[in-house]
Structures are given as structure tokens and as C-alpha cells.
Amino acid sequence: MRTEPTVRRAVCLVSGGMDSAVALAEARVAGFESHALSFDYGQRHRVELAAAARVAKALGAVEHRVVKVDLSAIGGSALTDRIEVPKDRPDEAIGAGVPATYVPARNTVFLAVALGWAEVLGARDIVIGVNALDYSGYPDCRPEFVSAFEHLAAVATRAGVEGARFRVHTPLISLSKAEIIRRGVELGLDYGLTHSCYDPAQAGRPCGRCDSCVLRAKGFQEAGVADPLVLG
């Protein structure tokens, strides 16, 4: 009797930024059936959701869902509150401490929702584009956080207590921004689909001065690749 191959499903967090886009591309090349998940969380750069939809479609996600979780209700971040987005900071300042753009517990909330959807889908894999080098000081982008969440998943879900093992894949966690960009090029990613700016103009044009814009520009320069958003 012939046994049909089991579909390998993964919930992939897609913000619209280039890191999550490369992570989604990695999921595709790894053979996952990708279910893209984005969040409307009260972010001032909500334009990224349009980029997330473009990326999910271009990279073959079987579906793309946007979940509304209003983190602006608690504030505490320059991305969700009336706090100025830091700009024109030198590299040493960007890499020191936790910046004002840190959103309290954001990745914990996002991964919790992704975990719930994975359990519903019968998936055991979650993909997130965090990295621990050019991560702007965010504590929820570190390997320690990811490992702790995997332990949580084992005891927080019905599937986990019944013996299933959930895995949070972080294909970019040890890569520099330049290495991430080069990998995306290898995977055929169109970076013109993405959005990185924390404080874009009304039409969505990047400011070029926030930490995210600075790290993006530095990454493209070091990778020796032209940023299509700048060319546009």
C-alpha cells in the first residue's frame, strides 16, 4: 500500500521587512508549506503590512493572515506610542542597550499567536527572521529567548503535552545584515517588495535616518548590492 508523503507545514512570521522575507524564502527552499502570519499591532509604520502581503504572495505562501493585536494600548515604544523614533545614531549607539523602538514583549506575543495557529494547522514548525548580530539591542531576538520559547511550547499546548515537539526556526540568527542580504539574493528575493523604515513618510517612503534604515543601508553597502528602494 502506497503511503502519501506528509505535508510539512510551517507558520512563518512576516513583517514586511527584509529579514522576515529572507526567512520566508528559507522556509520555501527547505520544503515547507508556508502559512504567513503578520500583525497589525498599532505600529506607526503600518505600511509594512502591505509589504508583508507582497512578500507572502511572491514567495508562495499558501495563505497570509493578519492578526490585530493592539500593543499601542500599553504603549512603551517609539513604534506604538508618542515617543520620538531615534534617528541619526552612530553604529556604536545602535548596538548599545535597548532602544526606544523596542516593543515590550512583541516577539513573545507574536510567537504565542503563531504557536496557536501552528497547533490548529497541525504544524510543528515556526519560522521567524530574528538575528543576534544586527538586532538593535532587542532582547527577544536572542538565542536564549528562542530556546526558552521552545520549552514553553512543550508545556503550554495540548500537542506539546501529548508528545509533539515544536521548533522555532531562526535561519538568520547568526548572520550579519550583509550576509542576510547576500542570502536573499541567492534565493531570488526581490528586496523592492520589502519595507524597513520605522518612521516613513505618509506615502511610505523611508526616512533614511532611523536605526532600521541605517542598518539596512549599511547591510546593502557591505554586501555590495544596490538597494532597489533607494534606486526607486
| Residue 118 placed within a domain | yes
For residues 128 and 21, give the distance between their C-alpha atoms in angstroms, rounded to a whole number: 10
Instruction: Give the pLDDT confidence of 38-93 residue by residue, as tens digits.
Output: 999 999 999 999 999 999 999 999 999 999 999 999 999 999 999 999 999 988 78
pLDDT at 92: 78
For residues 76 and 34, give the distance between their C-alpha atoms in angstroms, rounded to a whole number: 32
Count of Cβ atoms closer than 10 Å to residue 153 Cβ: 24
- CB of 122 closer than 8 Å to CB of 108: no
Q: How far is CA 168 from its chain centroid?
A: 12
| Residue 123 placed within a domain | yes
pLDDT at 231: 60
Which residues have C-beta within 8 Å of that of residue 190, sequence separation ≥ 6? 58, 228
| Residue 1 placed within a domain | no
Looking up residue 201, the CATH number of its domain turns out to be 3.40.50.620
Type of residue numbered 188: G
| Residue 174 placed within a domain | yes
| Residue 205 placed within a domain | yes
Q: What is the 3-state secondary structure (H, E, C) of the chain?
A: CCCCCCCCEEEEECCCCHHHHHHHHHHHHCCCEEEEEEEECCCCCCCHHHHHHHHHHHCCCCEEEEEECCHHHCCCCCCCCCCCCCECCCHHHHCCCCCCCCCCCHHHHHHHHHHHHHHHHCCCEEECCCCCCCCCCCHHHCHHHHHHHHHHHHHHCHHHHCCCCCEEECCCCCCCHHHHHHHHHHCCCCHHHCCCCCCCCCCCCCCCCEHHHHHHHHHHHHHCCCCHHHHC
For residues 64 and 25, give the distance between their C-alpha atoms in angstroms, rounded to a whole number: 14
Question: Which residue positions in the chain have pLDDT lower than 50?
Answer: 1-5
> Number of folded domains in the chain?
1
Domain that residue 180 falls in? 9-231
| Residue 2 placed within a domain | no
- Whether pTM exceeds 0.85: yes
| Residue 31 placed within a domain | yes
| Residue 132 placed within a domain | yes
